[in-house]
Chains A and B, each alone.
Chain A
């Protein structure tokens, strides 16, 4: 193991602990533990036999049972594979074994992940999304994921459950993403307080 100490995307010097914040029912938490890799099917390669990858707009958590591995559809014939707790290993190599024959590229540190959960049901989550992303929530239930713009940034939004989403943004813009998310969450909390 290397003795270099990693920092989180929102980290300041020595910032090895992920950021967290709470605004009313909404909890925002930086997650730096996910391993990420893109997987593309070669021309003419059939879909992998071992697992069912999700279709356009889809997101599948834990498809490889017991491995905490999920996938979201990124582009035609291309998926982003997510591995819980796999950030520090060589996740791309793992994916290449799991899904042989395709093209795999490490994406672990390309993205900053922020998990947002509500302890008051889907209402606060959907109110927050309405302020940030132009997504029709009618078609964005659990298991859906999409890439879209958020305050001029390109992000993936994953609907993990009715009351939890994950936002993946460019690692370099993590601070701006965090600012956008926390500002919107704080304002919603304020509006609820004054209503």
Chain B
């Protein structure tokens, strides 16, 4: 057990967890990695390409190596960073990317093949023979590649989303973030402080420094208590701000229950959309390493991480450690470890003037040139001025300086800028409203971080007109790094730069030789900086190595920029919980509960659920129900809920003029109390939508739209009202949901309606075809009646306030029993309208014209309606395709919608195509399948036999061209 003294863990409680099936103890406050290290587990995974044994490399979200699968069954989540997995009782983790046990991976043969697996290997090797790629190479590569595997089961957890607004968003709760939040919150600003960790303090938690001569945790606890007392500050732990978007919108994920064995009835993670007026980015810095030969053995990690494990988690990867550094920070790790009783074998310092800061051996002007230890480090080779020695140690901390975490600052294309004094890329042009503070801005000492955070908050709030006073900040260390850059130790052996993608210095050299020198090319040729860590510990080092090779400065070599997300975000939480019932809203018609009680089968029509048909006992096939409903309607009376059609109330002195400009046919001339069919075009001359327009008063119309286009038509009407003709007096409001509208169709429709209206004269003379009126029904209920027909029968649509819809439907069915009243669904509705030859969505598909629908003469040339001018275009006018009816020559033959039409005997190809079948159904009235379709020269081809081709099913069906009106072509039934 390498558990040290101290640390921020709760030793009074022991948690049990498993790694690769073996059980280990840990404590609250541990991460999975700190607990593994405390249990002497150093080997945690295998590398991506060479399957080299790998250990923990960092102590934070930048981790490239320690990727594990957490959880089991449907909850198994691959590729999670064990360094940030908060320990809980019962946590299960498994290592990834090995065949056989972790200690003996069969795929490690790749390591022996490494001379062949250099940068660009796949691009170069699997080029030929070309046919081999799809069948052989790619499947084999895919099997071997990747890290963990998905469970392939549905995610059992719940996710949700939320929306927050603030004056100041502070990202990161280290010293700079805490002082920024404190400054702003004391000034009364609305502040959000978010940090990915489960504990506030950031880097302070990893250090042994004092703040105001007391442990840093005392100061943190004081700040935390004050922040908790301020209602204008929202503290968000376990929350990663992962993306900066336009105009101050930030994406954040809160891990609500990832530290719990089971979220229970709660959510696992929440996606927050934060709208921030100003932002302080206090994301800290990530330590960088120095590549040297065989620098990837388990036990070799960042020196700052080693210090963090010792100070915060009382854990150390070994009892005997060494440090390799180019700055003073490496010596701090040596001092802290010594203070915890760990042996420090040596500090290898690249600087010639290096001296020990404590009782340990220091090699000045020295470098680590090789390492030993098959599954974990056992010794390092140190080259120094006097020669070279093997130094025995089981862990090595590497310190090459610190890279500011500039990621979010560059999400809006702001390119980081090289700063020679800091030897680091600092944030360049930030997203508007963002100020960077603390180590993320190169202000890495605790003193500098505290002050830059407070100053950043003050500046940000001043922009908003909020005066913030700088707080009295505590005394804290302010020691320089004294860094002397060294970017890699030269040598022929492999020295890893990017651990996650197995990119070595040699790979960069190869990319250089192959002229893949710009950073963007380098990245793609070598796969540097890809995958889950996005090169957080690798990119800057790789750029510096390339700069060495080209002889250019790092500034001239440049850097790639970062995109969201900062750390991996699951697709489940990005979905925000929009699954199942919340995938999208469902709209129910007013008669829905009644139809449910009748046993209706429902169908989705856009967002609507509509009754498709109403099966009756003994009916075993949907066609039986539909045929019955159709025949009953044509013989007696059918009832159908048609509420889903869009309804728009149009009022105003200029309502008629306005509608004249929206519809291609005249509307202003419509008499009060009458309805007219209306056709709307798009400005390009094609048909947009159709419906009816009823004039209820001199300045009051109600128009209907198709179900599908209700939204777009209303949008177009508002566009016309506000943007095209703003001087007209017109007022619009949707009333789709306000009224339940029931179609009453069939020869007995009048008789049935006569039983519900309150003394209203329904006679043909008083209320003819296309009449409309306000009236009352069922003893005083206000209603609207329209004599319109989609079915071709004598028909009405009766509208009542939506809450009465179900009761009215039940009443009509009840009162009409002796008249054969039959409810019908959307299937029968479709059959009825196809039999009548009425166009619907299939015919109004956005590619058709009024002329094609046989309605060309409706387009009035006397007025300037939307689409009128363009409908006269030669290309549209010369189109001879027109809506026809289609009957199979063999009465048993099918008519399939979507089939294309050809002359009999013609070769079937694009240039001989003569049209297509738009709608088809079985017509119980005709006794066979029937169809509607657009056919070239259709008007002149009545009686001709053509072929409907459906090559998908190798169908060629002979059809006869007939009138599209299969019933009542003269319209007598409508008018009787």
Contact = CB atoms under 8 A, between A and B. Distances in A.
A7 interface: yes
Interface string A4-42: 111111011101000000000000000010000010101
A186 B804 CA distance: 32
B808 interface: yes
Given A133-B163, A175-B586, A8 B803 contact: yes
Q: Which of A103, A133, A194 has the most CB of B within 10 A?
A: A103
Interface in B372-424: none
Contacts of A6: 801, 803-804, 807
Nearest to B643: A172
B127 interface: no
Contacts of B165: 135-138
Given A38-B733, A42-B729, A187-B265, A13 B594 contact: yes
B894 to A, nearest CB: 36
B275 A136 contact: yes
Given A7-B803, A172-B589, A107 B733 contact: yes
Nearest to A136: B165
B649 A105 contact: yes
Interface string B525-559: 00000000000000000000000000000000000
Contacts of A174: 588
Q: By DSSP majority rule, is chain B's interface helix, strand, loop, or mixed?
A: mixed
A7 B256 CA distance: 40
A7 B593 contact: yes
Q: Which of B161, B727, B736, B737 has the most CB of A within 10 A?
A: B737
B569 interface: no
A51 interface: no
B801 A108 contact: yes
A87 B584 CA distance: 29
Contact of A151 (B585, B778, B779): B585
B184 to A, nearest CB: 14
Interface string B791-821: 0000000001111101110010000000000
A64 interface: no
A173 interface: yes
B801 A13 contact: no
Contacts of B808: 4
Interface string B266-300: 11000001010000000000000000000000000
Interface in B155-197: 158, 160-165, 190
Q: By DSSP majority rule, is chain A's interface helix, strand, loop, or mixed?
A: mixed
Contact of B581 (A7, A12, A179): A179
A27 to B, nearest CB: 19
Contacts of B160: 131, 184, 187
Contacts of B603: none
A170 B653 contact: no
Given A151-B582, A172-B587, A176-B585, A187 B267 contact: yes
Contacts of B608: 172
B736 A110 contact: yes
B651 interface: yes
Contacts of B587: 170, 172-173, 176
Contacts of A115: none
Contacts of A107: 733, 735, 738
B144 interface: no
A126 to B, nearest CB: 10
Contacts of A1: 779-780
A10 to B, nearest CB: 10
B739 interface: yes
B782 interface: yes
B652 interface: yes
B585 A173 contact: yes
A2 B267 CA distance: 47
B593 A13 contact: yes
Contacts of B800: 4
B781 interface: yes
B264 interface: yes
A183 interface: yes
Interface in B582-623: 582, 584-590, 593-594, 596-597, 607-608
Interface string B556-574: 0000000000000000000
Given A4-B804, A179-B581, A194 B586 contact: no
Nearest to A129: B163
Given A12-B593, A152-B584, A173-B585, A32 B190 contact: no
Contacts of A7: 593, 803, 806-807
A107 B596 CA distance: 26
B484 interface: no
A180 interface: yes
B731 A2 contact: no
B803 A109 contact: yes
A50 interface: no
Interface in A152-195: 152-153, 170-177, 179-180, 183-184, 186-187, 190-191, 194
B727 to A, nearest CB: 8
Given A1-B779, A4-B811, A109 B164 contact: no
A181 to B, nearest CB: 11
Contacts of B803: 6-9, 32, 87, 109
Interface string A92-129: 00000000000101111111000000000000000000
Q: Which of A5, A6, A15, A153 has the most CB of B within 10 A?
A: A6
Contacts of A179: 581-582
Given A13-B593, A109-B802, A173-B585, A130 B737 contact: no
Contact of A2 (B586, B607, B781): B781
B779 A3 contact: yes
Contact of A40 (B164, B589, B596, B731): B731
A194 B259 CA distance: 13
A179 B782 CA distance: 31
A136 B588 CA distance: 31
Given A1-B780, A179-B581, A106 B161 contact: no
B734 interface: yes
B585 A153 contact: yes
A105 B737 CA distance: 13
Contacts of B163: 130-131, 133-135
Nearest to A139: B165
A5 B273 CA distance: 44
A80 to B, nearest CB: 9
A174 B585 CA distance: 9
A36 to B, nearest CB: 9
Contacts of B728: 43
A67 B488 CA distance: 82
Nearest to B811: A4
A138 B802 CA distance: 37
A51 B268 CA distance: 50
Nearest to B728: A43
A78 interface: yes
Contacts of A131: 160-163
Given A137-B165, A179-B581, A172 B738 contact: no
A26 to B, nearest CB: 16
A114 B163 CA distance: 21
Q: Which of A109, A175, A176, A184 has the most CB of B within 10 A?
A: A109
Contacts of A184: 160
Given A103-B652, A187-B267, A170 B737 contact: yes
Nearest to B802: A109
A88 to B, nearest CB: 9
Interface of B: 158, 160-165, 190, 256, 260, 264-267, 273, 275, 578, 581-582, 584-590, 593-594, 596-597, 607-608, 643, 649, 651-653, 699, 727-729, 731, 733-740, 776-782, 800-804, 806-808, 811
12 contacts: A2-B781, A12-B593, A13-B596, A105-B733, A109-B738, A130-B164, A131-B160, A171-B737, A173-B585, A176-B587, A177-B585, A183-B582
Name the 4 nearest CB pairs between A and B, nearest first.
A176-B585, A110-B738, A109-B802, A6-B803
